A = this chain, B = another copy of it.
Amino acid sequence: MKILHTLILAMAVTGTASAADWQALPDNAPAPADNPTTPARVELGKMLYMDPRFSSTGTVSCNSCHNVMEGGDDSRSVSMGVHGKTGGRNAPTVWNSAFHSVQFWDGRAASLEDQAKGPVANPVEMGMSDVDEAMARVIAIPGYKPYFEEAFGPDSMTVDNAAKAVAAFERTLITPNSAYDRYVKGDKQAMTEQQVRGMNTFESTGCVACHSGAAFNGPAMKAGEGFYAKFPTFADSDYVARHRLDQDKGRAEVTGKDADTNMFRVTTLRNITDTAPYFHNGSVNDLHEAVRIMAKTQLNRDLADGDVDDIVAFLAALTGEYPEITMPRLPATPGKSLVADQ
């Protein structure tokens, strides 16, 4: 270990990172064959994503908890939906979610299209009875019709197409050109010495066992097949009780299988500086502490403070460029509101 550490330090001094398979973020996300990312679908999806009228109270849109003006989440431990209700899990970032092969912490949605239908009918999120009730609101807004026609053809105002449009918009939410991306593309000045050092420590500590690939969320998987890890793996750490890390059964809630207890989708580390607080329950509001806990509960490693600092510096290099987004104009229901007394 001493030798490895020395070696890494030597490499850091010369500004050369380790030999792991470091990948830059692609500029475009893959799309399913039946939902190409066309401009018309993206535009409609952006409107639906921003429109709060598809929540029971008319106050909660997709963007309320997955705010694209911020890190694609809501800065809260657990999100706040209609009537101030709260759920049990932290809102995952929407940025680069297109690079996840499954959606939600427990991977219960096989695609962005499937995911988009979930929060609408969740009583602590958007609070509609079901997606059809939400779709009835969409249909009641005359200004949406031409956008559906442009995106999907005539008579296309369906739940599936609405979900496709939202997914198409989400596939454009990519943050390329981080310092890390520029570094691995050859600009050796793009990261600081500390960030390069952190990159090597990130690898040598073992973080890359799960957080690999362009989005740092694991190996390439077939769409709909998730890459999961048990969290916590080393459950006897003090951290586990302190942050209730084993209380959420994770994927076992979906599958009912004991083997899936505490299994969670390995989440992207892209833009992680902008998505505090951390973990599935949002229980840790400090990136340094989150790194320390992950090393202990996943790798049984006690990181030195300097190593934590270096890894955090490296993680900051994963924060990319957020594309500029123009606000959509949400079509009115002239002279009559759909949500006046909700």
Contact = CB atoms under 8 A, between A and B. Distances in A.
B285 A340 contact: yes
Contacts of A274: 332, 334
Contacts of A57: 76, 80, 84
A214 to B, nearest CB: 22
A298 B28 CA distance: 59
A339 B74 CA distance: 9
A282 B326 contact: no
How many copies of this protein are present in the complex?
2
Which residue of A83, A273, A274 has the most chain B CB atoms within 10 A of its CB atom?
A274
| Interface footprint category on A | 35 or more
A72 to B, nearest CB: 11
A132 interface: no
Main secondary structure of the interface of A (DSSP, over half): loop
Contacts of A31: none
Interface in A20-48: none
A341 B84 CA distance: 13
Contact of A332 (B70, B84, B324, B342): B70
A325 interface: yes
26 contacts: A51-B69, A52-B74, A53-B75, A57-B84, A58-B74, A69-B328, A70-B330, A71-B332, A75-B337, A76-B340, A84-B84, A84-B85, A273-B332, A273-B334, A274-B332, A274-B334, A276-B335, A276-B340, A285-B341, A286-B335, A287-B335, A288-B335, A312-B335, A316-B334, A324-B327, A325-B326
